[in-house]
Structure 1
Amino acid sequence: MTGQLTFDELGTPLRETTFVVFDLETTGGSHETDAITEFGAVKVRGGEVLGEFATLVDPERGIPPEVVALTGITEVMVSSAPRLDTVLPAFLEFAAGSVLVAHNAGFDVGFVKAACARLGYPWPKPTVVCTVKLGRRVLSREEAPSCRLSALATLFRAETVPIHRALADARATVDVLHGLLERVGSLGVQSLEELLGYLPEVTDAQRRKRTLAEDLPHEPGVYLFRGPSEEVLYVGTAVDLRRRVRQYFTAGETRRRLREMVALAVRVDHVTCAHSLEAEVRELRLISAHKPAYNRRSKNPHNGWWVALTDEPFPRLSLVRGPRDGALGPLRSRALAEDAMHALQQATGIRPCTVRIPARSPSATPCALAELGRCGAPCSGAQTAAQYAPAVAGVTGLVAGALTDPLRLLETRLLDLSAAQRYEEARTDRDRMSTLIRALDRGQRLAALARIAELVAARPDGAGGWEFAVVRHGRLASAGVAQRGVPPMPVVEQLVASAETVFTGDGPLHGAPPEEVAVILRWLDRPGTRLVRTSTPWSEPAYAAASWRHWLERADHARSRLGHWGK
């Protein structure tokens, strides 16, 4: 049992916490190979039921006889049910902002996380409470020899009997949860944070370190965990610094790597920020400066991979770690960069070999690629520099967003491969083309923002005021707020006057770190953001890679449903 917290430290009272208690029925026990057949969920707060969510799901596969015998769910019952791609977003919306509760939560949450990954939905990282773990913490072996749902439902006299159907089991779990919360309430556990801290995974030493959060403010900003030698162990951001850092000392933090970090920490420093954008940017900069051992980003300090043309009479494509003028990127891995490079080679006719070809009288023997029609063999003199130039122009034009003809060539090739039933080749080319289009689209959007010498944007803060950002060549130069009732334009002028001077560099992003430009772009893209002014108009090549987003949607659907193109 933990010591009683002061009123200021209580956090979120349990009576004010919204729980979504849910259960799934599936075709088997593996979220990698099995499918969901039924969702059932109950939303509760303060002992009151706020709503229910229940639906069968078409698993798009057979249901084993032993599962039918256990649940009573037959293939006939699910044949007309909605598919998971329809049900999942509805469930995520129903559960948004709530604490998820499940009996043996690892099983049910594992299936939902896998479904999100498969269907392209970001996992919202909700707080999760497992009634099995809580029951084992609260109840003695004599009182509850088994923590099965049926046993606990009987113990707490649940109004609903669990019958291996999702909604019934979720309703029974609600009664079990309320029974367990009554037990921990008598021990002084009154808040969500205390509940998480009460679970057995938290050691006494971890609880004692809650004092490291005592001096932190309830404001947005960046926090830095420091070790015994003043080294920065970890950097993170928070909307509420004190509340976020305190969570590291509860069972809500289950990552072994970060629990190890907390054990080493002796102090938590912080930097308050005007709003979330400034906090995200400062986090990126601090990670880059300190390279904390427990931040995953520190393990890859470079700005990703770039695909660039070499500087020679007959240029070829090369993978590089730093941005260059006219380069495509950044791509987060070498494998993705190689896929984009192969697609560029197919789309433009740029030579795929690595031989350095002299400007005058090339006389090498053509390789097998020339015989396969994949190279014009400039190494042998079969192509002059002038004849080779359109391939180079195709690369530069495609990357810059000035043309899309090479993408149409790739699409035609895919259709031809599919018509010839060469599905393996089509699948490989489709995935490479998808990687190329995504890299082009992202790179063109980032470059468009980085070209602007100065941009001032504003977002409503939700309380009648404004959040401001001054962006120069893709970097945050100044940030501030105008609270409700404060005239905004004088604040803007002050922020512009005090903004950092930004010196530009090489590459499509003019020297700006790609991650920082991407963070700023996401903030600008959010609904409600307004442009106050820009030094030059902000425009993106809408008819370049962006015009192929519909193709990407079809390709992603084909990948998830069929695994190959056009069949």
Structure 2
Amino acid sequence: MSIARAPQAATAAVQPSFADIGTPLQDVTFVVVDLETTGSRASDAGITEIGAVKVRGGEVLGEFQSLVNPGRPVPAFVARLTGITTSMVATAPDVALVLPGFLEFARGCVLVAHNAPFDVGFLRAACADLDYTWPGFTVVDTLPLARRVVLRDEAPNHKLATLARLFRARTSPDHRALADARATVDVLHALLERLAPLGVTHLEDLATAADPVPADVRCKATLADGLPSAPGVYQFRGPDGEVLYVGTSTDIRRRVRSYFTAAEKRRRITEMVRIAHAVTPVVCATPLEAQVRELRLITEHAPRYNRRSKHPERQTWVRLTDEAYPRLSVVPEVRGDVPHIGPFSSRRAATAAVEALHDAIALRRCTPRLPPVSRVRRSPCALAGLGRCSAPCVATTEPDHDYAAVVEEARTALTGDPGAVVRLLAERVARLAGQERFEEAGQVTHRLRSFVAAAARAQRLDPLSRCAELVAARPTAAGGWELVVVRHARFSGTAVTGPGEDPLPVVDALRATAEAVEPPSPPAPACHPEEAALVLDWLDQPGVRLVHTSDPWTCPVRSAVAHADLEDVSASVALALRGPDTMTAC
């Protein structure tokens, strides 16, 4: 599969940088911080001491320590626990003098704390009180990391003092800020050593390191190394290069990394990750191209772990047959220049739409091909006796001209305004609801929804599938243009221009190099129906402008699209439930 582009918009080769791979933990500068306070809540307590240690690659780069005047007395139980008394902090600097120094000490680093929400909560509250903007530090909490790798048979709990003893920290925590920060440094290094065999080797891994992810899944996180942070498609490949799964994202690397964390809840996908050997990226110029490529790759490879869009040949349509007395027929493809609606996802849905039309229009339901005039006299069927069929089969002297009006009514409902069908069935739903026959009313509504949705799809697809070429443009956030060529509803080429660049030469080049497409049988598009739906949704977005069309691209003003939400049905049901005297019988 190839999607043509203008030469000006060709995608350059991607050279992964270290930034694309991630930041190795040995290159990360951590600031391990600990606070002592007068209470447990930042809203009604103050900071009495700040201690911090800056480390990188196991080496201590600096330390920060200061007592802080909390502006209130230190409670007795806090003084007994920490050894910090009111007299000790009475002459200490206020937090307004200490906090700027700490923020400068920690600038550009990753904050680490044991039970980080407590310490970070007090720091953020202090910034807010002083009208400082919180720097937005990346924060690592050693408590959930310890819960992930330290088992109960090793330690009775995950308190800092317990972990310091377990890992033989060089400093014993004693509820003084600097000593506790020094102990946390040794605990952090010990935890990182245990996490490394689980695939936690980069700073980005720490964000999900505490997730309950199986070790064999987390180890596969290296498959994301080197993937580009760009929009496109990714393919998980298994043994012998088999394509297991195809997906799309605006950031390939970030999306693939999520498969190795607790964010992925699907059992089948976890099973897929376990057998995957590699991930192949396909960088795309735009999200629309990525969506189209994903769809085509799924159709081409039918990956066993993708559930959608694998079998376009299973789409079904409903057609009005081309014969003397037409009828409705469920068919696997569009055939002939006769009205069709669809595509349907299943034959059952198509049959439901046919039943909706039969409920409203007296088309014949028998399947034999009838001559204009029958040579033998026939007896009308039971449906004809009930007024549900026009019975053209009994015409023996001249063609049944009344049936032509019935066919025209069906043709209008299929290709134009289905309002008459919607109103008739809405009245029937209302009558059933008024009689509290809600199950039957639900069945009629389901059939009507199947019909209206399929008619709306066909009426949107038909003009685009007939259009030999359409070129559209949408402004980009960068100030350029996203250009798309569509041929017979198939996405045939794309390009992106930069700010200030003249887009017209790019349009000419794009039209010259776009994919050649053979005309289909409308309303079927020259592609997977879902691809055509993606193109239509893109064309409907605000700001899209038509640059060129080879054929008229129009839709009926009164069409099935106007009834897609079935407001008529909802209004009629509400009317019926207000009372039988306001109801119209069908």
What's the TM-score, normalizing by structure 2? Answer: 0.61
Structure 1 residue 555: Cα displacement: 2.7
The correspondence for 1:313, drawn from 313, 324, 330, is 324
Alignment partner, residue 371 of structure 1: 385
Whether 1:347 aligns to 2:364 is no
Q: Assess, with a 3 A threshold, how the Cα gap between structure 1 residues 219 and 315 changes in structure 2: closer, same or farther.
A: same
Matched AA of 1:342:
E
Greater Cα offset, 247-256 or 419-428: 419-428
Residue number among 497, 500, 513 corresponding to 1:485 in the alignment? 500
SS where residue 208 of structure 2 aligns? Answer: helix
Q: Distance in 1 between matches of 2:266 and 2:329?
A: 38
Change (3 A) 1:184 1:519: farther
User: 2:444 matched to which residue of 1?
Assistant: 429
Counterpart in the other structure of 1:55: none
Displacement, 1:403? 6.1
- For residues 263-278 of structure 1, the aligned pairs below 5 Å read 263-278=274-289
Aligned counterpart in structure 2 of residue 463 of structure 1, from 455, 478, 497: 478
Aligned residue identity for 2:291: E
For residues 261-305 of structure 1, the C-alpha deviation after alignment (integer angstroms, 9 at most, x for no partner) is 222222222222110111111111111111111111265443522
* Contact 1:225 1:233 survives alignment (8 Å): yes
Instruction: Indicate how the Cα distance of structure 1 residues 310 and 461 shifts in structure 2: closer, same or farther if over 3 A, else same.
Output: same
Residue matched to 1:221: 232
Paired positions, count = 411
Q: Tell whether the 8 Å contact from 1:434 to 1:555 is kept in structure 2 after alignment.
A: no
Q: Deviations over 1:168-199 (max 9, x none)?
A: xxxxxxxxxxxxxxx99994588665433542
Distance 1:201 1:347 in 2: 56
Contact 1:452/1:534, CA 8 A, preserved across alignment: yes
> 1:499 aligned to 514, 518, 525, which one?
514
Is residue 197–residue 252 contact of structure 1 (8 Å, CA) maintained in 2?
no
Shift of 1:354: 3.4
Choose the corresponding residue for 2:559, options 544, 547, 557.
Answer: 544
Q: 1:535 to 1:184 in 2, by over 3 A?
A: farther
Q: In terms of mean alpha carbon deviation, does 515-524 or 421-430 score higher?
A: 421-430
What secondary structure is seen at the aligned counterpart in 2 of 1:254? Answer: coil
Higher Rg of the two aligned structures: 2
Matched, 1:202 2:217: no
Contiguous gaps of at least 5 residues in structure 2: 1-17, 26-142, 160-186, 193-199
Task: Trace 1:76-475 onto structure 2 (pairs within 5 A).
Answer: 137=148, 187=191, 194-204=206-216, 206-297=217-308, 300-302=311-313, 304-324=315-335, 325=337, 326-361=339-374, 363-381=377-395, 384-401=399-416, 404-417=419-432, 423-475=438-490
SS in 2 for 1:443: helix
Judge which range, 329-338 or 311-320, deviates more: 311-320
Aligned 8 A contact 2:525 2:532 in 1: no
What CA distance in whole angstroms lies between the structure 2 residues aligned with 1:254 and 1:184?
A: 29
* Conserved? CA contact 1:414–1:430, under 8 Å: yes
Secondary structure at 2:326 match in 1: coil
- 531, 539, 543: which one aligns with 1:528: 543
Work out the CA distance in 1 between the residues paired with 2:457 and 2:219: 45
Q: Which residue of 1 aligns with 2:14?
A: none
Q: Distance in 2 between matches of 1:431 and 1:144?
A: 60
Q: Write out per-residue CA displacement over residues 311-370 of structure 1, whole angstroms, 9 at most, x where no aligned residue.
A: 443222122222334211012222321221111112221123334434442544433322
Whole-angstrom CA distance in 1 between matches of 2:157 and 2:394: 78
User: How far apart are 1:416 and its partner, in Å?
Assistant: 4.8
Kept in 2: contact 1:292–1:298 (CA 8 A): no
C-alpha deviations, 1:21-76, integer Å up to 9, x for none? xxxxxxxxxxxxxxxxxxxxxxxxxxxxxxxxxxxxxxxxxxxxxxxxxxxxxxxx
The verdict on how the C-alpha distance between 1:515 and 1:557 changes in structure 2, with shifts beyond 3 A counting, is farther
- Contact 1:314/1:359 (<8 A) preserved: yes
Which secondary structure state, in structure 2, belongs to the residue aligned with residue 314 of structure 1?
coil
Segments of 5+ residues of structure 1 without an aligned counterpart are 1-5, 14-131, 153-182
In structure 2, relative to structure 1, the CA distance for the partners of 1:192 and 1:334 (3 Å cut) is farther
- Partner Cα distance (2:557, 2:157) in 1: 61
Partner of 1:53: none
User: Which residue identity is paired with 1:527?
Assistant: P
Q: TM-score, normalised by structure 1?
A: 0.63
Q: CA deviation at 1:490?
A: 2.0
Cα distance between partner residues in 2 of 1:437 and 1:146: 62
Q: Secondary structure at the match of 1:339?
A: helix
Q: SS of 1:507's equivalent?
A: coil
**Distance in structure 1 (CA, Å) of the matches to 2:432 and 2:292:** 45
Q: For 2:188 and 2:536, locate their aligned partners in 1 and report how far apart those are by CA, in whole Å.
A: 45
Opposite residue 352 of structure 2, the aligned amino acid is D
Shift of 1:389: 2.1
Q: Structure 1: how far apart are the matches of 2:372 and 2:543? A: 55
Aligned in 2, Cα 1:558/1:373: closer, same or farther, shift over 3 Å?
closer
Shift of 1:9: 4.2
Opposite residue 414 of structure 2, the aligned amino acid is: V
Partner Cα separation in structure 2 for residue 531 and residue 502 of structure 1:
20
CA contact (8 A) 1:281 1:476 kept: yes
SS for the counterpart of 2:207 is helix
Relative distance call for 1:512 and 1:556 in structure 2 (3 A) is farther
Aligned residue identity for 2:353: A
CA distance in 1, matches of 2:346, 2:573: 24
Whole-angstrom CA distance in 1 between matches of 2:547 and 2:373: 55
In the TM superposition, what is the alpha-carbon distance from 1:145 to its structure 2 partner?
A: 9.5
